[in-house]
């Protein structure tokens, strides 16, 4: 759905659409009250249809794919572990960063009520940190793909290991131009 | 932005619910005798507000093209017209001949139009800051986010006025 107040120009256009709709309703109501009601229903339906079908700028554009580089002679692995993961298998000899995305629902993200999800992620990160003393463990963003993107900006990795389900694996594969595979984990 | 729109819809929606209850469900004539709505002043106010949206749009398009004086003139005119709207609204209230204690009709009339006037007042405060910043040279063709956001709010206030004017004064 397109936000009619996305920019000043669109808000100005929306204003004149509302004025046109109001004029139609007023004319209909002056002819007959029920005609006015019918016109109002049609105008609101048309407005809803227009906002639903108006293309959102940039929505069809492919998401940017994130790449990363590592210093020569090092092997770095980024591990994505959803909250609740108790153990993950990491390759020996590699520098490891484990990211625990907060994984909030859409409603929680929209309303900013992500404190509980962050608490879960922090508890998981603390437990994994205790089990993997050689690895860095951090809490990431609510969106796992965004959490990976953030992590790759500060920790260039050669590969990404995911300790989650297929949905999480696919979401990360779409956004990362690195080998992404599943690692053994326990919950 | 979606949360802002949703909160505004809920806020105005609650007042419109009360309005429709008073007018339709409760069967009170609108406006209830012997009162009359000041339709002429409200119509003039509508034209003032629509024109102020046009000048706001002029200000935004001007700064996008690097025309700083066009933006300054647009913002100043928008502010003055918003002020004129608010003064006319207060004048209308003083001459209305009824008050909130006179029944459900005057109460919901003042609540709905007053709620909108509060939004205009906030818009005027934003416009005042925008105009001062414009005169201090804070906005350029590349950096004018402050004008853009203020413009969106001003158009939103105008949209709400069209809904209030149509519902309360005309229908």
**Which tokens is B70 given?**
């066009």
Is the model's pTM score more than 0.80?
A: no
Mean pLDDT of B124-150: 92
Interstrand relation of A185-186 and A87-88 (parallel, antiparallel or unpaired):
antiparallel
Of B1, B148, B155, the CB nearest to A14: B155
**Does the pLDDT value for residue B158 go beyond 90?**
yes
Distance CA(B121)–CA(B126), nearest Å, equals: 9
Contact residues for A110 (Cβ-Cβ < 8 A; gap 6+): B2, B3
Phi then psi for residue B29, to 5 deg, are -60, 150
Going by C-alpha positions, the residue among A68, A69, A17, A72 that lies closest to residue A44 is A17
Low-confidence ranges of chain A (pLDDT < 50): none
**Which tokens is A179 given?**
């080998």
pLDDT of residue B71: 93
pLDDT of residue B120: 95
Handedness of CA B144, B149, B152, B158 (dihedral sign): negative
Distance CA(B147)–CA(B55), nearest Å, equals: 12
**Does the pLDDT value for residue B75 go beyond 90?**
yes
pLDDT of residue A186: 64
Instruction: Report yes or no: B96 and B38 within 8 Å, Cβ to Cβ.
Output: yes
Q: B53 CA to chain A: closest CA distance, Å?
A: 7
> Which of A8, A13, A48 to mutate against chain B (most B CBs within 10 Å)?
A8
Using a CB-CB distance cutoff of 8 angstroms, which residues of chain A are in contact with residue B1? 3, 5-6
Instruction: Report yes or no: B100 and B106 within 8 Å, Cβ to Cβ.
Output: yes
**Domain segments of chain A as ranges:** 8-53, 76-186
State which residue of chain A sits closest to B59, comparing Cα positions: A8
B112 or B5, greater pLDDT: B112
State which residue of chain B sits closest to A36, comparing Cα positions: B171
A76-186 CATH fold: Rossmann fold (3.40.50)
Inform me whether the C-beta atom of residue A15 falls under 8 Å from chain B C-beta atoms: yes
Taking every pair of Cα atoms in chain A, the longest distance, rounded to a whole number of angstroms, is 82
pLDDT of residue A185: 66
> Into how many domains does chain B fold?
1
pLDDT of residue A54: 77
**Does the pLDDT value for residue B45 go beyond 80?**
yes
Inform me whether the C-beta atom of residue A48 falls under 8 Å from chain B C-beta atoms: no
Inform me whether the C-beta atom of residue B78 falls under 8 Å from chain A C-beta atoms: no
Contact B50 A14 (CB under 8 A): no
**Does the pLDDT value for residue B25 go beyond 80?**
no
Provide the strand spans (E) within A103-153: 136-140
Rg (CA), chain A: 25
Inform me whether the C-beta atom of residue A60 falls under 8 Å from chain B C-beta atoms: no
Say which DSSP state A62 is in.
Answer: P
Angle at the Cα of A87 (from A85 to A90), degrees rounded to 5?
Answer: 120
**Which tokens is A171 given?**
């979401």
Q: A41 CA to chain B: closest CA distance, Å?
A: 14
**Does the pLDDT value for residue B110 go beyond 80?**
yes
Q: How confident is the model at residue B130 (pLDDT cuts 50, 70, 90)?
A: very high
Q: In what order do the strands lie in the sheet with A180-182?
A: A136-140, A95-101, A76-80, A159-162, A180-182
Phi then psi for residue A185, to 5 deg, are -145, 165
Distance CA(A130)–CA(A137), nearest Å, equals: 9
How many contacts does A have with B, using Cβ atoms within 8 A? 60
pLDDT of residue A18: 92
Q: How confident is the model at residue B155 (pLDDT cuts 50, 70, 90)?
A: very high
Inform me whether the C-beta atom of residue B10 falls under 8 Å from chain A C-beta atoms: no
**Does the pLDDT value for residue B87 go beyond 80?**
yes
% of chain B at pLDDT higher than 70: 97
Using a CB-CB distance cutoff of 8 angstroms, which residues of chain A are in contact with residue B57? 8-9, 12
Q: A152 CA to chain B: closest CA distance, Å?
A: 29
Inform me whether the C-beta atom of residue A25 falls under 8 Å from chain B C-beta atoms: yes
* Alpha-carbon dihedral B74, B76, B81, B86, rounded to 10 degrees: 140
pLDDT of residue A86: 83
Q: How confident is the model at residue B162 (pLDDT cuts 50, 70, 90)?
A: very high
% of chain B at pLDDT higher than 90: 57
Inform me whether the C-beta atom of residue B162 falls under 8 Å from chain A C-beta atoms: yes
Distance CA(A31)–CA(B62), nearest Å, equals: 42
pLDDT of residue B157: 93
Would you tell me how many other CB atoms lie within 10 Å of the CB of residue A18?
A: 21
* B87: CATH: 1.20.120.80
Contact B156 A5 (CB under 8 A): yes
Give the residue numbers spanning the domain of B125: 2-170
């Amino acid at each position: 759905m397109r936000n009619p107040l996305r920019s000043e120009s669109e808000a100005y256009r929306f204003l004149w659409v509302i004025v046109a709709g109001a004029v139609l309703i007023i004319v209909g109501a002056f002819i007959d009250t029920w005609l006015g009601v019918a016109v109002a229903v049609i105008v609101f339906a048309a407005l809803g249809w227009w906002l639903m079908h108006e293309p959102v700028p940039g929505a069809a554009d492919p998401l940017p794919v994130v790449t990363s580089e590592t210093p020569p002679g090092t092997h770095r692995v980024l591990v994505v572990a959803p909250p609740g993961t108790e153990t993950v298998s990491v390759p020996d000899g590699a520098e490891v960063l484990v990211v625990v995305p907060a994984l909030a629902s859409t409603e929680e993200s929209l309303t900013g009520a992500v404190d509980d999800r962050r608490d879960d992620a922090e508890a998981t990160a603390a437990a994994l940190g205790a089990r993997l003393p050689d690895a860095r463990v951090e809490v990431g963003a609510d969106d796992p793909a965004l959490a990976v993107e953030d992590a790759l900006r500060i920790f260039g990795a050669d590969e990404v290991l995911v300790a989650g389900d297929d949905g999480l694996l696919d979401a990360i594969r779409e956004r990362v131009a690195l080998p992404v595979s599943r690692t053994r984990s326990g919950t | 932005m979606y949360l802002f729109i949703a909160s505004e819809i809920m806020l105005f929606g609650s007042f419109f619910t009360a309005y429709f209850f008073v007018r339709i469900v409760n069967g009170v004539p609108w406006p209830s005798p012997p009162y009359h709505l000041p339709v002429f002043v409200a119509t003039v106010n509508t034209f003032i507000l629509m024109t102020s949206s046009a000048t706001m749009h002029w200000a935004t398009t001007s700064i996008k093209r690097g025309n700083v004086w066009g933006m300054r003139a647009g913002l100043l005119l928008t502010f003055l017209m918003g002020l004129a709207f608010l003064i006319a609204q207060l004048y209308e209230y003083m001459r209305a001949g009824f008050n909130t204690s006179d029944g459900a009709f005057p109460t919901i009339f003042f609540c709905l139009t007053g709620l909108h006037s509060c939004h205009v007042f906030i818009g005027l405060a934003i416009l005042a800051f925008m105009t001062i910043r414009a005169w201090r040279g804070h906005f350029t063709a590349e950096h004018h986010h402050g004008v853009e956001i203020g413009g969106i709010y001003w158009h939103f206030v105008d949209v709400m006025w069209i809904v209030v004017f149509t519902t309360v004064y005309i229908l």
